[in-house]
Structure 1
Amino acid sequence: MSPLSAVFGHASLSALSTGLALFALLLALLQFSGSSRIHNHCSAVQNDGWWVDTRALVWQPAGCTLHKYTTHDLRTCLAPTGDAASAVISEQIVFIGDSTMRNKYYALARLINPDYVAAINNTKAHSDLSVGWPAIGGPVARFIWDPYLTTPQTRAILSPSNTSSPASGRAPKVVVVGSGAWFLRNAEDVGGLQAWRRSIDWLAERLHSAGHIEHAYVSPVTGVVPELLTPERRRTLTPPAIDTMNEYMAAIDLPVFSAWAKMAEGAPHETLDGLHYSNALNDRAVGLLLNRVCNPAVVSRGARPPLHTTCCFAYPAPGWYARAAALLTAAAVPLMLLLRRLAKRPIAQAMPSAETVRQMAVFGAVLLLMYTCDRTPLFAKLHKHFDARVFALLCSLALAAGVAGWEEDPAAGAGFLGRRQTDEWKGWMQIAILVYHLLNASTVAAIYNPVRMLVAMYLFMTGYGHCSFFYAKGDYGLRRLTAVLLRTNVLAVGLAYMMGTSYMDYYFAPLSSAWVLVVWATMRVASARNKDAGWVVWAKLAASAWLMWLVNTLHLWPFGVLERVFGVHWSQREWEFRFGVDIFIVYVGMAVALVRMRHGAQLQAHARWPQMQRWAVVASLAALVWYFWFELTRADKYAYNAWHAYVSPLAVLAFVVLRNATPYLRTHSSSVFRYAGVISLELFIAQFHLFLAADTKAVLVLVHPRLWFVNLAFVTVVFVGMCKLLATASGAIAAWLMATPQPQAQQQQGGGGDIAMAELGHGGEDSASTARPALDRLASEPPVVLRVIRLFYRLVLHSLAVRWVVGIAVLLAINKHYDD
């Protein structure tokens, strides 16, 4: 065993990842107080955050993800309870203060009515303003010019005895007050810091008793960039004076929106005059305000997965499936003890073994961990953001780890597309996909296009592996097919119910399952002719490809029937895209498998075989160079997608040829990549809620939001270890559902792929169940009631067609109930 094999051993990694997961849970619980502001990160939105990209102005609150507001969202938020017709024209947000407050008012006005700002260019700078909905009118938001907080309008709005805004006849929902710069600029006339302090003390008194205002905030005094200020402003607007003002407001416990000050401090390039900041920055600032104010009504109310926004968000209560899973997982230990006591009794044979129950408990526990990470506020979530340097660094680290694990394969695992090679192939592709999702690289076409090719490579292996099995074994029974489909879908189906998502969200499981069925049906029809030397098998491939293209092109998938009859809401458009974009590559894999198995020996014995190999390598290198030129020169990823189904076979075949170009390459592989490849199915599906969060739309934080790389390393260890546990548990569950004997079950538990069906056992019925006639077994098992139960159990167990129909019907019925 190599040193890397020892490091990545099953027991050590699983134990380490479990320990780290428990540590993360304990750390999160210690920070979990009774304050709802901490639970939903509202305080973080208001007070803490940083720029993750100062060029694109991507703001990250500490521990949560923001919602990007639209005009429709605003109408939902700003409409108070009552008559809807009058709700949308009532004043809801009031800004009071100087020009910094006016700029934030303008940012909100642009969202309410994009044409508003252009229409008021001739308005005096130091005047009150208001904005209403397009074509409706009425004051929705208002700005009051009052840099000293002395106007009657300000006093009236903030007075505890006043319960309405003069402009609308009802109390505003949000009041934001900002003052300070004018006191410094005109210190000799108005009294400077002392006068400002008296105004702030009055404001604090009013806000502490302003129960009629739902949301009241104070803007910090905006930081300045001294070198950009005019000489007069530079003399009066000094950073020490501004810091003194902000510190005083924090000391008297005013509801200061401190994040605005951090925004300005972190983006000095967004100001031209050193005092007033750009429209883009003010848009981000108002976006924070709207997340703080509106998320409970807009995002939290009736929220259903995927939960993209976690700032100021009230997570929904666990559904019945999650509660049932928690109950069953908790009951696993006493059930194991009971089974051990009943181990020698006949009734225990009709129940899962203690080891199977333990694996079920592990499966349920990991799913509960994923639920806790992604469906509760216990752990922080961060926005994903692409950084080319970080992307290159992570890819380089992964490549270095793969090279360090390079080792010679035993003879049994070597050869053209052997199991160890395909495991390695799946492993490095899955690592690349994880990095791609982590950094939101789908926004970069030059990266999206090759990653789309990785999916094609997975499907190529699906066609190659399953076609090889069917051709070699000739086993087209439902038992083997069911075993493969169960193994592929146990985790995806479990998560769909646990997380309240859709089965189609974990798109690789349904996509792989559909293609397994297509390969099975293609090889099953006229299967007796598969090994003929004639053209039948090639005609079947061509007919199957044409039929699948026709079904996808003419929208013949039965999604509408599923929705009308069972209430299953799956996006047919999304499915047709994912199925159609790689619609030919599976058949290419099948064709390669048939050529290898039917003509491989003759080709290698050909006198010109060495020459053909050399030309194949040259052509493959040229094909890869052409492919990267082609994908880099497309206008965008949508233009590339139109060509992907036709160019992907060239790149995939080129890689296959180059990976097997020499005996050395065929007999060596990377143990690190193989390790990831064995659990690639779990790595792909579990990343939705453990490695990432918010159904892959955010990054999960188990340590601290600021420690990005430390958190990545921590989460990666937990994630990989949990996936290894899931792979073993999924194999055990699938084996139990198939009533596979224990030796075969142990073989199944280690695998996470769907490539080599031959490793799932032999076709036909369980030999133990057919060793004696059914009547002999029935006569030897008293009492009568138990014999009848056992007979019925075995009948259902081995009638796979019946179990298919019943199982799918039950899943669809439960899905409809759950979806309601």
Structure 2
Amino acid sequence: MAYFGLRKLENLKIFADRGCFALLLAVIVSNVYRHYVLDATDPYKCGALLNDGQWLDSSDHGPYHIWQPPGCMFHEYTTPDIAQCMENRMILFVGDATVRHTFWSAVRKIDADWVFEEQARWDIPQGDVDFSQDGVSLKFIWDPWLNSTALHEELERFRARQILGRQIHTASSPQRSGFRNGTTSLIVIGGGMWHARHLQSGSLERFKKSVDAIVSAAYPQGLSTSSRIPPYDGDGSGDQIFFQPIIEPRYERLSPSREGSITPDKINNMNDYLQELSTKGHSVLWAQTKMTRNRPRTYGESGLHVIENVSKRIVDVVLNAHCNSHHARKESILMDRTCCMSYKPPNWIQMIGLVGFFWTLPYAAVAIARSTKLPITPEESASRIPVPLLTLLFCLGYCFLADRIQIFDKVPKQYVTEDFRIILAIVILPCLLTIKGSSTSTIGRRSSSLLANNPSFLSRKQFDEFKGWMQIFILVYGYTRSEDILDFYEVLRVFLAFYLFLFGYGHTMYFLRTDDFSLRRIVAVLLRLNLLTVLLCFAMARPYTSYYFVSLVSFWFPVIFVTLRISRHRNASFRRLLGKVLSSATLITGFVHTPGILEAVCSAIDLLFHANLNAEEWRSALGVDLYIVNIGMLAAIAHIRICAIFNMTESQRSDVHDFIHDCFGGLQVLAIVASVIILPVFWTLTRRSPDREDYDWWMPFVSWLPILSIIVLRNATSFLRSHHCAAFAWIGRRSLAFYVLSQHMWMAGDSEGLLRLFRGGDGSLAHDRWRELVVLTPILVWCACKASDASAAVNAWTLGERVAYRDEGLENGLHKRSTSEIENPSGMKSDDSRLSKDAKRRLLGIAAAVWVAGLTT
């Protein structure tokens, strides 16, 4: 029976491998076809941005705040964004009152008070307006007939810059940008309403004449070419002209004097002519028409002007079209906007990875078709190391394909309260069906105490289970954009602190149980923590610290090691061990909060490795969880001490030991009662925090309260200690792979947005995004599993081992050689704790390769 059970499980794994791989291939092929065939005329989504889109508003946001062009991430521009894009160049608005309304909305993005004051004292309703602040200059020229001298002077200068730009096309970027400083880079032109209102006949001909004059004055080729005008030049953004279409008014709201002259025929005829202009490659903001069509609430009382929210989104359309590629080429990491954007060309490492990905595709297909395992498991021979390396290359290549080129559509996240709860429930409820008893359950039932002599207290499976359900929360939190909700952020911070607590607890248990402070142990842990993450950093051209938690635990492991390694012979003394942990906490506090120290360290690392560390970001990241690792260490020390007390004979125990031994049952009940009280009190009090800054200030001092309460309640009875959720534990063992890969396989733009596979829909989970979840979630789970196993195999090969524990670093420092080091109190140190010469050579080679790659990319 056991044989048939294993055979059935193996067949199920083979079926899952084949199904997930076929699904991944189908996703790649369909997106490649869409990009190179269906979207061949609009590869950068410029046309989609200018011409199409939909409102994604829900009851959570109010009306008309979230505009979404199809297939790309739309960015709401702020003052620093605009200033960085324009680089001392001007944005010019020319036209009638409709364009002036757009101008006011653009200025409000920078200084809303100035607009209010200017409009209050403005006594020239048909005059020009100038604005300059924070490195941004905007100007409005009143020209409803689109034939003023000021406009044509600007157009002549625009045309001269176009000719000059072609002449120095091969010049360097400083030369190219220098000749444009102080000039107008972006012009928004709109008119036609006066033509409709004040001309009873000939309005269309007059409008055509004005538009033709503008085009012929601005572009050397005039209207004689059908080639598309590029949305940007070599340094990111060239001079551009955008035409604002004539807004179709709400005719029933027009005043009597306008109602008779502004007719649908006149408006439609002029817009039809602008449509002809679009077919010749000129930029017309047809998204404005999409925003207002069949939506009466988008108009103001006059029926001629749109409301402020709509007008701001029109400005954002212009800025996204003009600035996105400029930002992408200026910034090393900027993935929150993909409309009308060309990604940076891949560097040499990314090219190798991309070629390797397509090279591994046929190999993977053949391996899976033959029912062989794509990734070698850690238990297999290290001589087959190319197999796990190819597996990692396969996963990295897919991440690059999905999140570093335009083949896959990306859209911004949208928070909806119900979506968060629904996804969380859909994932958690099936997982709860996998609750089962642990192999040590019979031992656990014989003990009624929480800690003493109870091997199932905080066992390996409990560690993995904790990490699993916390990882699920973190994934759903990121997918649904719940970071904007303070309540969910507070839960996230407790869970991140919980990870660090487990990290400190587990490694302390390992070091004190085994006394293994070897170089091999350091290398093994840091390699498990960083292998997949560092490879992703190079593949995705991201800084190391962008994978927040990996860099955080990589900092804390050496702290734990050094704290326990110094005067290791004194670790048997409870008081001295306690003193070392408290001294470590004091030194780290000074290291983090003393001005200049962290800055010097970050500067040195940046100089040596080009790591681009931000000292203030690190200070914030370390400070918010400053003491939780030390508290985890203290919890491990207390556990070991209590276990030692229960293993003492009566003659060996002191009075304090007798009290703990005799009253432990009562202390256990007291701990459970306190935990039941602490949890609701903690959440009630922390919800009074007005913002993140206030909550983060309290976290270093109080985060341990809910963590210890959860652990105590999780181990309150022998039944709870002897059972675990297998699905949560399975995810927990691969939590690092889920964490890093989800940012590119499940989400997009380095977790700033979401991958999009299908078109249409309203952006909601129930009627739209469920399709991506159904398709992409199996791919993420499969790739995380494969990458986790492959990483463990590479680690084993590097260290010259045949067996490696398949845990990614958010782990408790326990070998797989026993069910749990906590359950192995022998304290025997491994005989094989030294690195072999081959392992040292491999490590030196890896370190040199990483250093060279960091300096050259």
TM, length-normalised to structure 1: 0.81
**What is the rounded CA distance, in whole Å, between the counterparts of 1:10 and 1:754 in structure 2?**
25
Out of 594, 598, 612, the residue aligned to residue 554 of structure 1 is 594
Q: In the TM superposition, what is the alpha-carbon distance from 1:680 to its structure 2 partner?
A: 0.6
Q: Which residue of 2 aligns with 1:492?
A: 533
The aligned counterpart of 1:44 is: 48
The alpha carbon displacement at 1:455 in A equals 0.6
Report the counterpart of residue 259 of structure 1 in structure 2. Answer: 287
Q: Is the 8 A contact 1:109 1:131 kept in 2?
A: no
Please state how far the C-alpha of 1:284 moved relative to its aligned partner. 2.0
Out of 435, 449, 454, the residue aligned to residue 406 of structure 1 is 435
* Aligned twin of 2:497: 456
Equivalents in 2 of 1:550, 1:180: separation in Å?
66
Instruction: Name 1:757's counterpart in structure 2.
Output: 814
Q: Which moved more, 1:372-381 or 1:567-576?
A: 567-576
Cα 1:183–1:27, aligned 2, differ >3 Å: closer, same or farther?
Answer: same
Deviations 1:659-705 (A, max 9, x none): 11122222222233222212111111222322222222222223347
In the alignment, structure 1 residue 727 sits paired with structure 2 residue 788: yes
2-structure distance, mates of 1:335, 1:136: 54
Tell me, in whole angstroms, the C-alpha distance in 2 between the residues paired with 1:614 and 1:367.
Answer: 50
Equivalent position of 2:471 in the other structure: 430
Counterparts of 1:8 and 1:674, CA distance in 2: 22
Where 1:700 maps in the other structure, the secondary structure is strand
> Does 2:740 align with 1:685?
yes
1:147-194 deviation digits (Å, cap 9, x = unpaired): x657677788889998799xx9x99655544345556656xx614xxx
Q: Encode CA deviations 1:781-809: one digit per residue, 9 max, x unaligned.
A: xxxxxxxxxxxxx963255xx87677546
**Alignment correspondent of 1:60:** 68
SS of residue paired to 2:385:
helix
Match runs of 1:642-791 below 5 Å = 642-704=697-759, 706=761, 707-741=768-802, 744-745=803-804, 748-749=805-806, 753-759=810-816, 764=830
Distance 1:9 1:316, change over 3 A: farther
Q: Which amino acid aligns with 1:445?
A: L
State whether structure 2 residue 672 is matched by structure 1 residue 617: yes
Q: 1:465 to 1:159 in 2, by over 3 A?
A: closer
Q: 1:43 to 1:597 in 2, by over 3 A?
A: same
Figure out how many residues of one structure are paired with residues of the other and give that number.
751
Matched, 1:591 2:634: yes
Contact 1:24 1:703 in 2 (8 A): no
In the alignment, the residues of structure 2 paired with residue 675 and residue 704 of structure 1 have an alpha-carbon distance, to the nearest angstrom, of 34
Secondary structure of the corresponding residue to residue 410 of structure 2: strand
Cross-structure match for 1:632? 687
Distance 1:176 1:317, change over 3 A: same
Alpha carbons of structure 1 residues 161 and 119: separation in structure 2 relative to 1, 3 Å: closer
Q: Give 1:603 shift.
A: 6.4
Matched, 1:817 2:817: no
Q: Is the 1:424–1:670 Cα contact (8 Å) retained in structure 2? A: yes
CA spacing shift, 1:754–1:388, aligned 2, 3 Å: same
The answer to whether the 8 A contact 1:688-1:694 is kept is: yes
Q: Counterpart of 1:29 in structure 2: which amino acid?
A: V
The aligned amino acid for 2:285 is F
Distance in 2, matches of 1:242 and 1:504, equals: 54
Amino acid aligned to 1:755: N
Residue 692 of structure 1 aligns with an amino acid whose one-letter code is M
Change (3 A) 1:728 1:133: same
Residue aligned with 2:36, SS:
coil
Tell me how far apart the structure 1 counterparts of residues 498 and 790 of structure 2 sit (CA, whole Å).
27
Alignment of 1:88-127 (within 5 A): 88=89, 93-96=92-95, 98-110=96-108, 115=114, 118-119=117-118, 121=120, 123=122, 127=126
d(CA) in 1 for partners of 2:584 and 2:155? 73
Residue 190 (structure 1) aligns with: 200
Name the amino acid aligned to 1:44. A
- Residues 335 and 41 (structure 1 numbering): CA distance in 2 closer, same or farther, change over 3 Å? closer
Residues in 2 aligned to 1:527 and 1:727: alpha-carbon distance in whole angstroms? 33
Residue 682 of structure 1: SS of its match in structure 2? helix
Partners of 2:544 and 2:32 in 1: CA distance = 31
Aligned counterparts of 1:756 and 1:111: Cα–Cα separation in 2: 51
In 2, are the aligned partners of 1:113 and 1:132 still within 8 Å (CA)? Answer: no
Q: 1:621 to 1:225 in 2, by over 3 A?
A: farther
Question: Which residue of the partner structure matches residue 132 of structure 2?
Answer: 133
Residue 730 of structure 2: SS of its match in structure 1? helix
| Cα distance in 2 for residues equivalent to 1:601 and 1:763 | 19
Q: Identify if the C-alpha distance between structure 1 residues 162 and 607 changes in structure 2 by more than 3 Å, giving closer, same or farther.
A: closer
Distance in structure 1 (CA, Å) of the matches to 2:514 and 2:161: 81
Counterpart contact for 1:682–1:723, Cα < 8 Å? yes
Tell me what 2:521 maps to: 480
Superposed displacement of residue 765, structure 1: 6.3
SS at match of 1:717: helix
C-alpha distance in 2 between matches for 1:258 and 1:406: 55
Q: Whole-Å Cα distance in 1 between the matches of residues 94 and 121 of structure 2? A: 20
Unmatched segments (≥5 aa) in structure 1? 80-86, 337-350, 771-793
- Alignment CA distance shift 1:232-1:627 (3 Å): farther
The answer to whether structure 1 residue 388 and structure 2 residue 417 are counterparts is: yes
Q: Give CA-to-partner distance per residue, 1:442-495, whole Å, 9 cap, x none.
A: 222221111011011001111121122222222222212311211111011111
Which shows bigger deviation, 651-660 or 591-600? 591-600
Aligned pair in 2 of structure 1 residues 235, 202: CA closer, same or farther (>3 Å)?
closer
Paired with 1:310 and 1:164, the residues of 2 have a C-alpha distance of 27
Matched residue SS, 1:190: coil
| CA shift for structure 1 position 245 | 6.5
Contact 2:678 2:709 in 1 (8 A): yes
Q: How many Å separate the matches in 2 of 1:506 and 1:320? A: 22
Q: Which of 688-697 and 233-242 deviates more?
A: 233-242
**Cα distance in 1 for residues equivalent to 2:709 and 2:626:** 19
1:506 Cα shift? 1.1
Report if the CA contact (8 A) 1:445-1:636 is conserved: yes
Q: Residues 524 and 71 (structure 1 numbering): CA distance in 2 closer, same or farther, change over 3 Å?
A: closer
SS in 1 for 2:436: strand
CA contact (8 A) 2:737 2:787 kept: yes
In structure 2, the residue corresponding to 1:93 is in which secondary structure? Answer: strand
Change (3 A) 1:52 1:548: same
Q: 1:526 aligns with which of 567, 588, 595?
A: 567
Displacement of 1:545 in angstroms is 2.2
Once the two structures are TM-superposed, the CA of residue 65 in structure 1 deviates from its matched residue by 2.2
Q: Distance in 2 between matches of 1:755 and 1:234?
A: 75
What amino acid is aligned across from residue 302 of structure 1 in structure 2?
K
- Are positions 1:376 and 2:437 aligned together? no
Identity %: 25
Amino acid corresponding to residue 552 of structure 2 in structure 1: L
What amino acid sits opposite 2:49 in the alignment?
Answer: V
CA deviations on 1:201-235 (whole Å, 9 max, x unpaired) are: 54675577552486444333334456755566677
Q: Which runs of 5+ in 2 are unaligned?
A: 163-179, 223-238, 365-379, 445-455, 648-659, 762-767, 819-827
Q: Structure 2: how far apart are the matches of 1:278 and 1:757?
A: 61
Is 1:286 aligned to 2:315, yes or no?
Answer: yes
